[in-house]
């Protein structure tokens, strides 16, 4: 198995593992981020969309009504279990213009046709080769079609402290902006804009969203932490050392605790928007 295939397989297994608790920890996080991306891309009635790395379908949930009966949003994820949960959501909400399937965001093989817009929310930094992936996605856009990619901006200092607790356990390859926010294209607006430009997109711009993330108490943060991609970081920590790391995180969060026991961090969200450059 190639290195890229091995990394993709690990991500699929991780998100299969967290799929049932993903976006179910009682913390407003993924839904407002997905709504922000949808609003930034401005879905229009009758358009066709492709949502890459859809998770439980948060972007589709927000875009579906605006696309209308004559529009369609096709969504895929590497995690089969995520797609199962997304299908349950679509059925529950009776979203007739949503199509779901399993595929690999790095190199999709099941996508058919061209789309007016591509959305990809909090996905790109998990891929083995983000630049190659963005280039692979170009063929799915109509001429001058638009794309919106969501990544994290500046982290709250409290979250930065907690991330630092994990650093000594993480593989060197992950210690870029995906984990630390200090290196790589994911570390800045300019880095992300250059990434899309180099992939053959133009009219690149950044839309910011500042998201207050409120945890009712420390236990709620801990539950949330294990329900997201951060579970992968916890799993890198030897089981015998997790209790000590948990206590260290609790001490950090105690410094930010309000009188009612809640903790609120502010997470900057970066939506990088562009159009396909047919000349590239």
DSSP for 175-198, please give it.
TTTTTTSSSSGGGSHHHHHHHHHH
Single pTM value for the model: 0.94
Q: Supply the CATH number for residue 106's domain.
A: 3.40.50.150
Query: 52 lies in a domain?
Result: yes
Structure-model confidence comparison of residues 176 and 231, the more confident one:
231
Our count of domains for the chain comes to: 1
The pair phi, psi for residue 158, each rounded to 5°, is -65, -40
Query: 201 lies in a domain?
Result: yes
- Which tens digit of pLDDT belongs to each residue from 217-248? 999 999 999 999 999 999 999 999 999 999 99
The angle, 0 to 180 degrees and rounded to 10, between the axes of the packed helices 58-67 and 30-41 is 40
| CA gyration radius, the chain | 19
**Cα–Cα dist 148/55, whole Å:** 16
Closest C-alpha among 137, 6, 145 to residue 76: 137
Of the listed ranges 34-48, 140-154, 173-187, 204-218, the least confidently predicted one is 173-187
Query: 256 lies in a domain?
Result: no
**Cα–Cα dist 101/77, whole Å:** 7
Closest C-alpha among 69, 67, 75 to residue 123: 75
Query: 60 lies in a domain?
Result: yes
pLDDT for position 175:
47
Q: Do 127 and 108 form a contact (C-beta atoms < 8 A)? A: no
pLDDT for position 124:
94
The token pair at 105 is 């965001």
pLDDT exceeds 70 at position 183: no
For the chain, percent of residues with pLDDT exceeding 90: 85
Closest C-alpha among 34, 50, 44 to residue 68: 44
Query: 42 lies in a domain?
Result: yes
Question: CA-CA-CA-CA torsion for 93, 57, 32, 10, nearest 10 degrees?
Answer: 150
Query: 252 lies in a domain?
Result: no
- Domain encompassing residue 208: 3-157+174-215+265-276
Helix (H, G, I), strand (E, B) or coil at 214: strand
Query: 166 lies in a domain?
Result: no
Residues in the chain: 280
């Amino acid at each position: 198995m190639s290195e890229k295939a091995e990394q993709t397989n690990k991500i699929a297994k991780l998100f299969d593992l967290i799929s049932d608790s993903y976006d179910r920890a009682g913390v407003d996080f993924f839904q407002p981020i997905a709504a922000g991306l949808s609003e930034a891309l401005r879905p229009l009635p009758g358009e066709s969309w492709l949502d890459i790395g859809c998770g439980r379908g948060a972007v589709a949930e927000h875009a579906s009504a605006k696309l209308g009966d004559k529009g369609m949003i096709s969504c895929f994820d590497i995690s089969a279990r995520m797609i199962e949960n997304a299908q349950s959501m679509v059925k529950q909400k009776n979203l007739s213009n949503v199509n779901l399937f399993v595929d690999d965001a790095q190199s999709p093989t099941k996508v058919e046709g061209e789309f007016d817009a591509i959305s990809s929310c909090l996905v790109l930094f998990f891929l083995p080769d983000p630049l190659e992936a963005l280039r692979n996605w170009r063929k799915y856009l109509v001429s001058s079609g638009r794309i919106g990619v969501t990544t994290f901006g500046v982290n709250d200092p409290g979250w930065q402290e907690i991330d630092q607790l994990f650093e000594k356990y993480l593989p060197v390859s992950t210690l870029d902006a995906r984990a630390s926010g200090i290196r790589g294209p994911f570390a800045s607006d300019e880095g992300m804009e250059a990434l899309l430009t180099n992939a053959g997109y133009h009219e690149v711009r950044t839309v910011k969203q500042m998201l207050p993330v409120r945890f009712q108490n420390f236990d709620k943060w801990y539950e949330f932490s294990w329900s997201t991609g951060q579970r992968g970081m916890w799993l890198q920590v030897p089981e015998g050392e997790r209790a000590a790391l948990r206590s260290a995180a609790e001490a950090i969060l105690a410094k930010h605790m309000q009188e009612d026991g809640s903790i609120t961090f502010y997470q900057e969200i970066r939506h990088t928007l562009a159009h396909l450059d047919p000349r590239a």
